[in-house]
Chain A
Amino acid sequence: MEFFVQQIASGMTSGAIYACVALGLVMIYVSTDHINFAQGEMAMFATYLAWAMIDAGVPYWVAFGSTILVAFFSGLLIQRVILKPLETAPVLALVVCFIALLSIFNALAGMIWSFTIKQFPSPFPRIDIFGNGLVSAQQIGVVAVTLVMLAILTVFFRYTTLGLAMRAAAQNATSARLMGVRVSWMLALGWGLASGIGAIAGMLVAPIVFLDPNMMTGILVYGFAGALVGGIANPLGAVAGGFIVGVLENLVGSYIIGNELKLSFALIMVVGVLLLKPAGIFGRVIVRRV
């Protein structure tokens, strides 16, 4: 029984990582209707920038804040410069762009900082919550920050005018424009926010998994699964989905199929959700009219 509880707890902590990443994915999807394959690599790159600052002596919170800002403006810039001209291009062109960004960020990080793992400091104190080393303060911190971000985003999207404008721009650009929404800037803003969230996710995750250029590749897949399971258009759903995926992955790996098939399990989850309930557990179905 204790083992079962431990696996659930451990699953919740990896789930928190996935939830964090999933939030960034949802952000992009809600504001631009796209799935950003480069989300993981962008988050990793931002984390390296933070690491470089900390390594150079900058205090942790200053580096943390600056990285979020840099990530925000970079996201904005990427949307304006690279994605905006391709607004009307077919989906394939956009997917190719995301894959291109993925490759570039990964390769650049390896080039500049090498592929050896680096330690990334944690802002949370090194205290043992339950006394048996099961859950560290860092992991609780990840959960807490994720929930805080979730709350902020939910409030933002549902109760602020700007949030409403962003949702409108994503779902129906033409109508939104007619209502006076500056659609392109909404998309850029969405990207900026998503990059910022990604940076936070990266900086929270790195103390646990160690910083290296391939840090996010595995996580991204589970993050996708989490976002889909919970509902990719829904921040709350994505976070819930992340936790569900984390716990399930651990339980299934420990009890049912063994650790060697975890990725296949993620694949089955992704395909399964897409087939059976593409809007996710918490999502609402959108009917497309001709």
Chain B
Amino acid sequence: MAALARSWATKPGIGLVASVFWIGLAALPLIGSVWESPSFDYYMFMGQSMLIYAISVLGLNLLIGFNGQISLGHSAFFAVGAYTAAILMNFGGIPYWATLPVAAVVCFGAGFLFGFPALKLEGHYLALATFTLAIAVPQLLKHKSIAGWTGGVGGLLLDKPDPPFGLPLTADQWLYYLCLAVAMVLFWIVFNMLRGRSGRAMMAIRDHAMAAGTMGIDTALYKTATFGISAGITGVAGALSAITIAYVAPDSFTLQLSISFLVGLVVGGIASLPGCMIGGAFIVLVQNSSQSISDWMKDTFSLRYDVPAWAIYGTLLLLLMFFLPNGIAGGLAAIRSRLGRKS
């Protein structure tokens, strides 16, 4: 897995591929000017969701894929980011775009703090602690002592922002660009971090923590910092989701959300940056098609019941662990290297 991470980063032409990819994504909303479709704004909204999930998976990937820790509780940081943005917009009158850096900082702090106890926990234990965190968070959000700020169980309703400077875009197109810009910035930051010394230190800790320690890497600092950065990234995604959905409520941030991130990560490919985008798109697409998949399965296998969505995800996860442990990105890379070997 380490080799995989290094190889694509140093491949020549990676910059070109990435540029083409991002430019392509940026061009998508412009199709709306040409293709008159009443659903176009809906597709823009879906695009926003995919980008938001991709950013969340990026945060999780940094921690799990590149630093070897584990977290089943990233829904907590997503929630903190979302509520930070919501509270700032609602009570502080702060413009939506300014809430993003604040959410990043707040979640970095939360992640860093959680990273301290996480230092002493490995593997299963850390998974357990973060699992408990994910389950405890919705209840915490509802607590009456902070209900004045969080809106308690009813949540906070927000206003959806309009495009600035009177640009000829719909609100959804503008928000899509916002999510895209944020995604580009975050991916670029992570990409550079991974290529540099910090990235190598992180990955060294992942591959053999004890050896890394003896080599002079301050493992404690790096691990807590990585937890913080990972939380910060996912927190920004949470803030974006508060802006695009225009509503935050405790029931939006359950264990199911953490599991969705995990699914996206595993499907896209652990320790793969392109995999984060694949994972993000996957979460949204599969959640939308679970009804169709269930209908298809009902017809093909003459089942009596609807196949529930989570049974499908679970089975998918298992199959992936067996056949595609490096996710789709890993699978593509394997195909590419095999083709490369042939020629």
Is B132's CB under 8 angstroms from A224's CB? yes
Stretch at the interface among A69-77, A117-125, A271-279: A271-279
Of A103, A224, A261, A266, most buried by chain B (CB within 10 Å of CB) is A103
Q: How far is the CB of B260 from chain A (nearest CB, A)?
A: 10
Neighbouring B residues of A110 by C-beta, 8 Å = 308
Q: A95 and B72 in contact (CB under 8 A), knowing A107-B311, A263-B136, A275-B117?
A: yes
Stretch at the interface among B17-25, B123-131, B186-194: B123-131
In the assembled complex, A37 has its CB within 8 A of some CB on chain B: yes
CA A121 – CA B322 in complex, angstroms?
40
In the assembled complex, A287 has its CB within 8 A of some CB on chain B: no
In the assembled complex, A1 has its CB within 8 A of some CB on chain B: no
**What 1/0 flags go to B93-129 for Cβ under 8 Å of A?**
0000000000000000000000001001111110111
Is B142's CB under 8 angstroms from A260's CB? yes
Stretch at the interface among B27-35, B82-90, B279-287, B313-321: B313-321
CA A278 – CA B118 in complex, angstroms?
12
In the assembled complex, A9 has its CB within 8 A of some CB on chain B: no
* Secondary structure of the B contact surface, majority rule: helix
A-B contact count (CB 8 A): 127
In the assembled complex, B64 has its CB within 8 A of some CB on chain A: yes
Q: A99 and B72 in contact (CB under 8 A), knowing A93-B321, A110-B308?
A: yes
Neighbouring B residues of A107 by C-beta, 8 Å = 308-311, 314
Stretch at the interface among A82-90, A132-140, A181-189: A82-90
In the assembled complex, B58 has its CB within 8 A of some CB on chain A: no
Is A103's CB under 8 angstroms from B139's CB? no
Is A97's CB under 8 angstroms from B117's CB? no
Contact of B125 among A35, A221, A263, A266 (CB under 8 A): A35
**For chain A residues 127-156, which have a beta carbon within 8 Å of chain B?**
none
Q: A111 and B124 in contact (CB under 8 A), knowing A85-B322, A102-B314, A266-B136?
A: no
Neighbouring A residues of B322 by C-beta, 8 Å = 85-86
Given contacts A91-B70, A100-B318, 18 further A-B contacts (CB under 8 A): A35-B124, A97-B321, A100-B317, A103-B310, A104-B314, A104-B315, A104-B318, A108-B308, A111-B308, A112-B305, A221-B132, A221-B136, A224-B132, A264-B136, A267-B132, A271-B132, A274-B121, A278-B125
User: Top 5 closest A-B pairs, CB basis?
Assistant: A104-B314, A103-B314, A100-B317, A107-B308, A107-B311
Which residues of B does A touch, CB under 8 Å? 64, 70, 72, 117, 120-125, 127-129, 131-133, 135-136, 139-140, 142-144, 210, 259, 262, 266, 270, 305-311, 313-318, 321-322, 325
19 contacts between A and B (CB under 8 A): A35-B125, A37-B127, A89-B325, A92-B70, A93-B325, A95-B123, A96-B321, A99-B262, A101-B318, A102-B314, A108-B311, A111-B307, A221-B132, A221-B135, A224-B132, A260-B144, A261-B143, A264-B136, A266-B132
Which residues of A does B touch, CB under 8 Å? 34-35, 37, 82, 85-86, 89, 91-93, 95-97, 99-104, 106-108, 110-112, 217, 221, 224-225, 228, 260-264, 266-267, 270-271, 274-275, 278, 290
